[in-house]
Structure 1
Amino acid sequence: MSVEEGSHTLPDETELYTKTWKSEGSPKAILALVHGFSDHCNAYYDLFPTLASNGIEVRAFDQRGWGRSFKGRKDRGNSGGTALVLSDLHSFLRAIPVPPNVPLFVMGHSMGGGEVLNYVLHPDSPYNQSTARPQLAGVLCYSPLIALDPATRPMAFTVIMGRLVARVLPKWQRYSPLDGSLICRDEQVVKDYTSDELCHNTGTLEQLAGMLDRGIWLEKLKEEDLKNTEVLPMWFGHGNGDRITSWDATKKLASVLEKKGDVTFVTYEGGYHRVHMDPGETREQFSKDVSDWVLKQASTYSQPQPEAEPQPVPE
């Protein structure tokens, strides 16, 4: 296993920090990771090296305004609205060099999970609007932000006022700290999180409103809304002890999607928001579940053939 750092330049010349965990030899699959709110791609401990040791190459990036992709205080959380967030994801995925017959998967954690779901399901997403879209073999959603748990959900009045001010001052920054004790059941992980300067807990009003709007759209999604949408194979993993994002909301959405496609839902009993670093056997089981599902999907993957060019009609 080898690790490479790099960068990805977006269409507006913004540079994103990237990191790749490569497997030995040719990968059996490639997994792109989209991190969550106040997080970054170097905070996932041994999850990515474990996947790489199983033949799954992991490609991750720090989103605009987060981790090592922000340059100064004014850039903190300044990731833009949903259109820009999904455009950035689209650009990153399309730039991944995928060898022939190697399947590409995308995985989103927390806020990133909500982004990934909007990316593949929303009709206005660049994935569903562009002809030059990445050939995804499946989607993994880990503790996705569909709805916030009541323990961390802001008051309705706060949300309403935030939306109103965001229309006038979209770039206004708001410090919105997560309760570190709810991140994980491992005390060292909590200490690491609360002392990590890259986890700055700051979003712009535009970013915060967009994040909540993406969740609201997913929460209201019904089977009839997906009649013209291809539902890729999906894997959901969520701890039912999560008090940041709602296990109930994830389970409900998975139940809607399984009527349209191949959906796996895994509950981690008592698991907190970062199940991959919960103590005991939970973290090992999480890595195994992700790896097993990806490799199972990869074993039956058949690369889509390009559409044939239309032939001229003889005169």
Structure 2
Amino acid sequence: MARLATYLLCVIVAFSLQSCAPVTAPMGLEQASPILHEDFFTTSDGLSLPYRHWDAAKPKAIIVALHGMSDYSRAFEMPGPYWASEGITTYAYDQRSFGKSPNPGDWPGAQAMRQDFCDFIEAVRARHPGVPVFGLGESMGGAVVLTSLTQNHQPHLDGVILVAPAVWSRSDMPFYYRVALWLTAHTFPAMTVSGKGLKIWPSDNIEMLRQNARDPLFQKQTRADAVWGLVNLMDEARKAPLALKSTPPMLVVYGEKDQIIPRAPTEAVVKELGARAEVHVYPKGYHMLLRDLSGKIVWKDIEAFVEKTSAK
């Protein structure tokens, strides 16, 4: 009887795990040519993703910027105008499942995010022929940009900028983190988590953090299976330096006070990139480097990298 009870329990648990698998947001239902419309972008699978842009009068370069987890294109409203004043046009779109894009809160899938990035780069090049195009990724966006360079179909980039890239993989996490992540993602995938009460500061710009807290488009809670998907992406990003197909000129920037992505995996990735990347570390920098109180220092360093690389 005890063996039967154990067997039945195993069957029930197995069925529960199967029926509660992590959810991925659905793809679009039609094939389309990637196109930039006035205020939204059509992906190759027919989804419409909102975007923002800060235009230089005569752009000498373009930055396509990808935001981090829970965030959206508004993440670049501080550096965007500055770069525009320096002759660099910035585009930033709401990645699928974030901001005003479809299926908010559901994990979109890393491959779909990489394809969107490639599509957007293609559309930007069509709009600005002959102008150098740089891919910038912040946190989760940095993981998308970095892993896109390991794919057979890579985005056509003149340079890459990684801002506090999300490279905290399972191999860098304590065992109990990995167990808790698996259990929640596979038993209660719709359960939401937040950073409330953790006393973790993503930036020293308190007013900006308060604005995010009031912003209905900034996601305050995250599904457990979306965290699972993010960690899968970070696993890929952590291994990416050893799998790069090619490496355009690259700039990596991160802060010594980053409380979101531990310093050890970031430094390991930097070491593996070696001479392929220019690296700037900011002693007073937090995770949201571009929005820190001292963020303008980082904006200027990125502008200098873009100008130097574009002149080659």
In 2, Cα distance between the equivalents of 1:148 and 1:240?
A: 19
Query: Residue 230 of structure 1 corresponds to which residue in structure 2?
Result: 246
Query: Residue 102 of structure 1 corresponds to which residue in structure 2?
Result: 131
Q: CA deviation at 1:202?
A: 3.9
Query: Residue 61 of structure 1 corresponds to which residue in structure 2?
Result: 93
Q: Which one of 162, 171, 174 corresponds to residue 141 of structure 1?
A: 162
Query: Residue 179 of structure 2 corresponds to which residue in structure 1?
Result: 157
Query: Residue 11 of structure 2 corresponds to which residue in structure 1?
Result: none
Give 5+ residue unaligned stretches, structure 2.
Answer: 1-36
In 1, Cα distance between the equivalents of 2:279 and 2:175?
A: 24
Give 5+ residue unaligned stretches, structure 1.
Answer: 301-315
Q: CA deviation at 1:9?
A: 1.5
* Contact in 2 for aligned 1:242/1:270 (Cα 8 Å): no
Deviations 1:17-63 (A, max 9, x none): 011111012x1000000000111111334200000110111011001
Q: CA deviation at 1:148?
A: 7.3
The structure whose Rg is larger is 2
In 1, Cα distance between the equivalents of 2:44 and 2:177?
A: 37
Deviations 1:200-230 (A, max 9, x none): 134445432221112123324564x44xx21
Secondary structure of the 2:100 match is helix
* Contact in 1 for aligned 2:121/2:156 (Cα 8 Å): no
* Contact in 2 for aligned 1:173/1:202 (Cα 8 Å): no
Query: Residue 78 of structure 1 corresponds to which residue in structure 2?
Result: 106
Q: TM-score, normalised by structure 1?
A: 0.78
Size of the alignment, in residue pairs?
273
Distance 1:295-1:230 versus aligned 2 partners, 3 A rule: same
Query: Residue 270 of structure 2 corresponds to which residue in structure 1?
Result: 254
Deviations 1:235-265 (A, max 9, x none): 0110010101123322221221125x3x111
Indicate whether 1:210 and 2:229 are aligned. yes
Indicate whether 1:192 and 2:211 are aligned. yes
* Contact in 2 for aligned 1:151/1:244 (Cα 8 Å): no
One-letter amino acid of the structure 2 residue matched with residue 89 of structure 1: F
Distance 1:42-1:5 versus aligned 2 partners, 3 A rule: farther
Instruction: Identify which range, 98-107 or 138-147, moves more after superposition.
Output: 98-107
Poorly superposed stretches of 4+, deviation over 6 Å: 148-154
Secondary structure of the 1:208 match is helix
One-letter amino acid of the structure 2 residue matched with residue 67 of structure 1: G
Indicate whether 1:88 and 2:131 are aligned. no
Indicate whether 1:16 and 2:49 are aligned. yes
Q: CA deviation at 1:191?
A: 1.0
Secondary structure of the 2:119 match is helix
Query: Residue 287 of structure 2 corresponds to which residue in structure 1?
Result: 273
Q: Which one of 231, 234, 242 corresponds to residue 258 of structure 2?
A: 242
* Contact in 2 for aligned 1:21/1:52 (Cα 8 Å): yes
Secondary structure of the 2:73 match is coil
Distance 1:139-1:202 versus aligned 2 partners, 3 A rule: same
In 2, Cα distance between the equivalents of 1:5 and 1:274?
A: 28
Indicate whether 1:297 and 2:300 are aligned. no
Structure with the higher helix share, 1 or 2: 2
Secondary structure of the 2:149 match is helix
* Contact in 2 for aligned 1:37/1:201 (Cα 8 Å): no
Q: CA deviation at 1:98?
A: 4.7
* Contact in 2 for aligned 1:110/1:143 (Cα 8 Å): yes
One-letter amino acid of the structure 1 residue matched with residue 271 of structure 2: S
In 1, Cα distance between the equivalents of 2:173 and 2:239?
A: 21
Query: Residue 174 of structure 1 corresponds to which residue in structure 2?
Result: 192
Secondary structure of the 1:144 match is coil
Secondary structure of the 1:67 match is coil
* Contact in 2 for aligned 1:18/1:61 (Cα 8 Å): yes
Query: Residue 117 of structure 1 corresponds to which residue in structure 2?
Result: 146
Secondary structure of the 2:49 match is strand
Distance 1:185-1:153 versus aligned 2 partners, 3 A rule: farther
